[in-house]
Chains A and B, each alone.
Chain A
Amino acid sequence: MDVEILSRIQFAFTVSFHYIYPPLSIGIGLMLVISEGMFLKTGIKDYEVLTRFWTKIFALTFGIGVATGIVMEFEFGTNWATYSRYVGDIFGSALAAEGIFAFALESSFLGILLFGWNKVSPRVHFISTLGVFLGSMFSAIWIVVANSWQQTPAGYHIVGEGLEARAEITDFWEMVFNPSSVERILHVWVGAFLAGAFLFISVHAYYLVRDRHQEVSKLGIKMGLIAATIFSFVQLFLGHLSADGVAKNQPAKLAAFEGHYHTENPADLYLFGWVDQQSKEVYGIKVPGGLSFLLHQNFDTKVKGLDAFDENNQPTQVNAIFQFYHLMVGIGMLLIGLSVIGSFLLWRKQLFDKKWLLWIFVFAVILPQLANQFGWFAAEMGRQPWVVYGLLRTSDALSKAVRAEQVLFSLIMFTFIYSLLFALFIYLLNKKIKHGPNDMELIDHRTHQKDINNFYSKD
């Protein structure tokens, strides 16, 4: 295998692995802010038990997220040197801004969040939790801005020719608010909220079917389901907004999402199917004119197909892109269904008797994770053969000084260390869940309660 394919595999592998954790940190972070905020507001102890328990799981995901995140920053230089020279002005500044404005905030206050319970007042602790959560949200902004710039470059001009060419920034705010930034940040945020909410639901559903930590878990499920219901519907809207943006800014990618080879009207929408890349046909169940309608609110508008683009400028893995995209959308629908059923039964006070549904919720934790991964696969494969859309080809972005055996060696090492890391993560997550929030109730609350009283008497 050559350097290009090995480096692509390595980047895809390391970034996908990394992407398990930051969405969980953002999602759990949101739940922590809510539960700790509710505890401060109401003084109900169950909220504190939840906060303390989930802080431990948060620590696990955050730690692995940081360690695996540094990898990508280095890989830009080690494996994608030509790319780094090309985008340094833009990508580099977004990365530096992420470090200064986001990562510093979250990592600094993480120490207080985890170890500061007995060192600071509840109010300061809550502010630290909020700081960590906001930091992780800001992180997502800058990283998605950098990626969105690769999808829809803006606020730059090109200096130099051929492989000497470089993108230089001309307008910072145009770069930040490039045509796809906002909708993609929102889409990623809400994807992360769903990952956190479903993990919350899953763990507490598990306790309920096992008859453990009943009261706390009922509260946890309620919080999780409310979040899941709100955000799964919001995601439907944001997903549509993103697809609209792709149609406008990256029509070849949209055509690949839908396996839409031939520019035609009406354009059909496949619910699921199989793309035959040889014959350029899709076999499956479709809504006639559905794609035209979704994009133009009219069943008969023409939609550009892959045939509208030069052969060399189209993504090649159309079937894979089609499948990942459709799986993401399908899982999104499933999440809406599960959230609605769960909320409805909760409202009717029947949820906790339906063990079969609780079991489904236990395993549903995997769904938002898959949707997040598949969404990124579709977005990144759909951008090919460009690493910077329309400007720099992936095959030109490599490090010239690096040889295949070096990348192969590092790829093997990453596979080894990430397998170990993942096994340990699952083992410890499982252990923390088995252990449960019970021990927390044994903590002497008197000093803490005194702090809370002081806090209220001050206001």
Chain B
Amino acid sequence: METFLGLDYPTLWYLVVGALFSGYGILDGFDLGAGAMHLFIKSDKNRRIALNAVGPVWDGNEVWLVIGGGTLFAGFPVFYATLFSAMYIPFMLFIWFIILRAISIEFRSKEEMKWWRSMWDVAYTISSAMIAFLLGVVLGNILQGIPLDENYEAIDPNLMMFLNPYSIIVGLTTLAMMMMHGAIYLTLKTEGKLFDHVVYMLEKCMIGFIIMYIIMSLFTLIFLPHLAERFKEYPELFVLPVMAVLSIANIPRLAKKKKYLQAFVFSSLTFSLLLIMVAIQLYPALLIATNDPANSITIYNAAASEKGLELMLTIAAIGTPLVLTYTFIVYKVFWGKVKLDEHSY
């Protein structure tokens, strides 16, 4: 098998996909989180400021989802096909909420009527929260695995299979984490009374996230102990959960000192650390067959051809610096507190 820097191509692509979803979690994470708390912000003007804090960037953030999906499709088509067809309903709900959210951002400020704005505020909040929740639900199902036959097809997936206690807990944890992340982002973009209110919301979100994180960790250790096996096998890996806990603990500390930019860096780091832990635990599996481990989908039996992966690694090597440059430029242009003008939402 072809290798690069000692890693085979499927492993390299696994890292690429992981990095993209980590980037997606960090970027869309804050605008989804800010959206999920939108209704808790009072007055039309404040809501407009909150909306315009994500206005110029949310579309660019969503690109990471599209690229992440594309790389998953291209790199691991077997996994893509099985996961998406088995999780038909959550993925369909996910895209409806994506559409609803795009409409509500675009349409909210187009009319002055109170009922019109309230309607889109509700739609924006619900769709943002549901997208975050469903991402976690799908992740929860991937962590648990599903029954697969020898052709890597899901065995009789029923409509509501995806809604099980563990995936709901992971879903709520994801939502809480994104809301905390979004609240930190809003502290960077607001001032005055709204800023004070955002700080208050951030405190609640941090408490909510820490509680959910503890529940999720306990549930994992008690009911899904296999998810910690790799860490028992290689005790040195325990440095990761320790780092994650320290990183999480650092967020309230920095928030208290009003160092919000640093807090944002650490909530981003937390996203990455948690995803790295997931990636290490699963590797080289992508989806474990709960009925018979031999039917599990791994990065090797799901991967595209060597030639295809090599080609896409080239594409990624050329494209990633470009995407990062665009992202940097846009964030630089819109750096600082939001000021409403005639072009705002």
Contact = CB atoms under 8 A, between A and B. Distances in A.
B55 to A, nearest CB: 6
A337 interface: no
B236 to A, nearest CB: 34
A172 B330 CA distance: 32
B30 to A, nearest CB: 15
Given A107-B59, A107-B60, A116-B56, A88 B73 contact: yes
A88 B304 contact: yes
Contact of B95 (A71, A103, A400): A71
B193 interface: no
A443 B330 CA distance: 24
B80 A103 contact: no
Interface stretch (A41-49, A78-86, A191-199): A78-86
Interface string B66-102: 1101110111111011111111110110111011101
A104 B84 contact: no
Contact of B59 (A66, A99, A417): A66
A99 B63 contact: yes
B284 interface: no
A169 B333 contact: no
Interface stretch (A56-64, A297-305, A378-386): A56-64
A36 interface: no
B328 to A, nearest CB: 10
Interface in B89-148: 89, 91-92, 94-96, 98-100, 102-103, 105-107, 110
Given A71-B95, A111-B330, A406-B159, A78 B56 contact: no
B342 interface: yes
Interface stretch (B3-11, B251-259, B262-270, B307-315): B307-315
Q: How large is the interface on A (under 10, 10 to 19, 20 to 34, 35 or more residues)?
A: 35 or more
Nearest to B304: A89
A95 B73 contact: yes
Contact of A105 (B85, B326, B342): B326
Nearest to B16: A96
Interface stretch (B178-186, B286-294, B316-324): B316-324
A413 interface: yes
B78 A85 contact: yes
Interface in A95-139: 95-101, 103-105, 107-112, 114-120
Contacts of A93: 74, 304, 308, 311-312, 315
Interface string A348-368: 000000000000000000000
B204 to A, nearest CB: 30
B84 to A, nearest CB: 3
A323 interface: no
B275 interface: no
A78 B73 contact: no
A401 B110 contact: no
Contacts of B102: 63-64, 66-67
A48 B88 CA distance: 47
B315 A97 contact: yes
B81 A424 contact: no
B155 to A, nearest CB: 8
Contacts of A170: 307
Contacts of B95: 70-71, 74
A401 B153 contact: yes
A401 B154 CA distance: 6
Nearest to B100: A417
B81 A111 contact: no
Contacts of A417: 96, 99-100
Contact of B85 (A78, A107, A116, A420): A78
- The list of the 6 closest CB pairs from A to B, nearest first, reads A88-B77, A77-B84, A92-B74, A100-B319, A111-B56, A399-B85
Given A99-B66, A399-B88, 19 more contacts: A63-B106, A64-B103, A66-B62, A70-B95, A73-B66, A77-B73, A81-B85, A92-B74, A96-B70, A96-B315, A98-B70, A100-B70, A108-B326, A111-B333, A115-B344, A400-B85, A401-B86, A401-B156, A409-B89
Interface of B: 52, 55-57, 59-60, 62-63, 65-67, 69-71, 73-78, 80-89, 91-92, 94-96, 98-100, 102-103, 105-107, 110, 153-154, 156-157, 159, 304-305, 307-308, 311-312, 315-316, 319-320, 322-323, 326-327, 329-330, 333-334, 341-344
12 contacts: A77-B73, A78-B91, A84-B80, A92-B308, A101-B315, A104-B319, A104-B326, A111-B333, A112-B329, A115-B334, A118-B343, A402-B85
